[in-house]
Structures are given as C-alpha cells and as structure tokens.
Amino acid sequence: MAKKFPIVAIIGRPNVGKSTFFNRVLRKSEAIIHDMPGVTRDRNYGLAEWQGKYFTLIDTGGFVPESEDIFESAIREQAQTAIEEADAIIFITDSRDGIHPLDKMVADIIRKTEKPVLVAVNKIDSENYELNINDFYSLGFSKIFSISALSGRKIGDFLDELIKCLKFPSDIFDLEEDKRLKLAIVGRPNVGKSSYVNALLGYNRSIVTDIPGTTRDSVDSILKYYGEEIVLIDTAGLRKRKKIYENVEFYSAIRTLRAIAECDVAIVLIDATIGLDKQDLKIVNEAIERRKSVIIAVNKWDLVEKDSNTAKRYEDAIKQRLGVYDFIPVITISALEKTRIYKLIDLAKEVFNERRKKIPTSELNEILLAEIAKIPPPSTPTGKEIKIKYITQAEGSYPVFLLFANEHKYLPESYKRFIQNIIRKNFGFIGTPIILSFKSK
C-alpha cells in the first residue's frame, strides 16, 4: 500500500515566483514559468525530497480572492482546494513589491486554516536586501524567511524549517518502481479531456471552461477503481505548431509530449462532431513512436445523431484513417452524460494487461514459424533465400520480439508488417505497438 506523503501547498498572488520555487525544490522544470500573471492555472503536483524526507508539493495559480474574471475565479477555487488538502502552507510574497493589498487578503484566508504557514519572502538575491523581510511580519505570521527561488539562495534553510512542521511516516519507505497503470488523457484543445477526468473523479480536479487551451500544465490525479489505484494525467491540448503563438502554448505542448512519454496507455480523446483529423493522427503517431499503448476515445457522442449502425460505421471510418495503426481500439463516450466513461477505464486496463503479456518461446516458434513457412520472406536481390529460424520475446515493459534470421537486412517493411499481423492474429496485443528486432542467426 502506497504511503501518504505530507502535502504542502504553495499559495500566493500572481507572479511572485511560486512556479519558480516549485521547480527549484523539485530540481526540474515541472511547472511552466512565464512573467505573464496567471500562467499556472491548475494544481500541479510533484514529489519532493529533502534530507531523506519525502513530501508532495502543490503549485497553484495566483490567488486573487475577490476577482470576477473567469480564470482568476477558477484559479481561486483550485488554490482553496489545495489549501484544504495541505498539511502545511508555503505563502510566497515578493520582496521587491513589498506588502501588496492582495497579500493581506491572502493572509486573512490562510490564517483561518489553522495549519502551519511559512512565509517565503522571495526575490531576495543578496544580504543587501535582507531588511526587506521585516515589513512582512505585519501579515501576522511568525515564520518569515528570505529566499531567492531563482538563484536558490537560502532554499535549503527554508526546507529545513519546512520539514520540522510536517509529520512523516515512522517506517522507512522504499521508493519502488510505480507499477500502477498510468493513463495520459491527450488530444486537441477543447475535446473534453478535463471534463472526462472530472467525470471519473466526481469533482473538479481541473479547470473546465469552453475556452480551448484552459489546461496548460499536465495534472496527475489518482482514480481508485475497485480497490486499484490508477494514475490519470490530464494534459494540455496539443495545437498545430503553426498555431502556437505564445511561448506558454509551446511549453504546454512539451508537457503533453512528456506526459505521453511517462504513461503506459495514451487515451487520445477526439470530438465526435469533428472526427479523427490530421492533428489527432499526429498525436497517435507521437504515442506509438514512444512505444506507448493507445486507445481512441470518441467524446461528445451525445451530440451525434445515431441509428443502430452509427457506432460501427464511425469506428470503421476511424480504422481506415489509422491505416497501419488499425490495431488501436475505438470506444465512444460522453463525459457530459458519463456514458461509458468507466468502460473506457476497463478497456485501458485490458490494453495494459495486453502490453505486459509474455508469450512462451515454444509457443511462439510452433505457431509463427508454421505461418511463416506458408508465406516465406522474399529472396534477397542476389536470389538468396531469407530464413527465419527462431523467435523469442524479450523482457521489457512492452512487447519486443527477437527474430534470428540470415540476410534480414533485406526484409521489406511489408513483410515485417506481415509478421506483426500474424503475431496479433494469434496472440492479441490490442492497442499496443509490436517491436521486431532482427538478429543474425
């Protein structure tokens, strides 16, 4: 059973350096950093470690208590949820601006939680500015610290104090490989990715509006499904590159590609009213190139006029568009009406099990070599016969088959696809790319 690490929420008004601090503590670029206020919209989680102690750090959007702006209101709700989840709160302020009226409003809200609060006065890059922290004691907190998230100045001292405020599991926890099913929910903007995740979880884990590109960072959630934990990664919508005008959009695309790289199964959500377009195919290709299993989920199925054969015709049209990727399963859902949203999870589990399936070597050779003998490989340009003598499945997290043969460099791609097809016909591997590696006999 997984340990529950202490949770620490980073709170503060827009553009004080919360995401820079988050990245500094995690020692990698998890959150998008930009000097435009409001870039971080959803809660962004990361596992941090200091002095051998692990805790979950939550980066939140800029907290604007009384704004009526659609995004600022949603960001406020996300930040409040983070505060409720947290065991301790890091309140980040900006030493260069001094105490802003919004800082006082945020402080009033945080004080009501009765949780440990550490105030980090950011952007103090040298001792010359240390006196700037004195004014911040008027916010009513006793733990005030000077830091520079950008340079890392005094971050270590700050974290020393932070872990004193947290309660950690008493037993030693070994960070083993995470064997949970990890699903990346990917697709073009505004196809319903966040709506689907929220429908599964039963609450608004990600901001949902009708404005494309609302989700900018990838956000992990845990779905408990019949006693099993499944990691859901809700990602920013991938736009065509020529349409990425903001740097923010570019970094969002990078986050989405990284989410694909880190998942086991990529659920490519498409809009039923639009169908599978070129951009969807590019996303599928990105996932396949990274050796990930893939499912096509057709969302907004409630908006399609249907008869008894509509789903079959729609699936056949998608399979035709997929071409050599026609092994990818297709399912229709409606996140709005919660239609088949859990059948999609069942399908993802099935695909995940197929992905990890191991075929005994004796069975592989008995069945596949007989099939190959019926339709042998074409001869080499010099007329030499190509013979595949032995087949075995390599160890790994996805199916790789080693084929021992002579003159294999002359095998055409069409024959390699034939071998992949006969493997699928006999052993399945639904939704999962099959890798063939040829060795000299």
Q: What is the per-residue pLDDT for 260?
A: 82
Which CATH number is 361-440's, of 3.30.2020.30, 3.30.930.10, 3.30.300.20, 3.20.20.70? 3.30.300.20
**Sequence-distant (≥ 6) Cβ neighbours of residue 178 within 8 angstroms:** 231
Domain extents in the chain: 7-164, 181-355, 361-440
In this chain, the answer to whether the domains covering 7-164 and 181-355 adopt an identical fold is: yes
Tens of pLDDT, residues 121-137: 999 998 888 888 999 99
- Map residue 439 onto helix, strand or coil: strand
Specify whether the CB–CB gap between 93 and 120 falls below 8 A: yes
Q: Which tokens in the block code for residue 427?
A: 């052993």
Q: What is the per-residue pLDDT for 215?
A: 45
Count CA atoms within 13 Å of residue 112 on its CB side: 8
Q: Could you tell me the fold of the domain covering 181-355?
A: Rossmann fold (3.40.50)
Q: Which tokens in the block code for residue 54?
A: 């692990």
Q: Please give the CATH number for the structural domain made up of 7-164.
A: 3.40.50.300
| Cα distances (angstroms) measured from residue 369 to each of 255, 354, 373 | 43, 22, 6
Full-model pTM: 0.61
Q: What is the per-residue pLDDT for 101?
A: 87
Q: Which tokens in the block code for residue 271?
A: 């809009």
**Alpha helix stretches (DSSP H) within 4-154:** 18-26, 70-85, 101-111
Residue ranges in the chain modelled with pLDDT below 70:
1-4, 28-45, 62-79, 82, 169-177, 203-219, 234-258, 441
Tens of pLDDT, residues 385-436: 999 999 999 998 899 999 999 988 889 999 999 999 999 999 999 999 999 9
Q: What is the per-residue pLDDT for 70?
A: 55
Q: What is the per-residue pLDDT for 41?
A: 43
Q: What is the per-residue pLDDT for 255?
A: 59
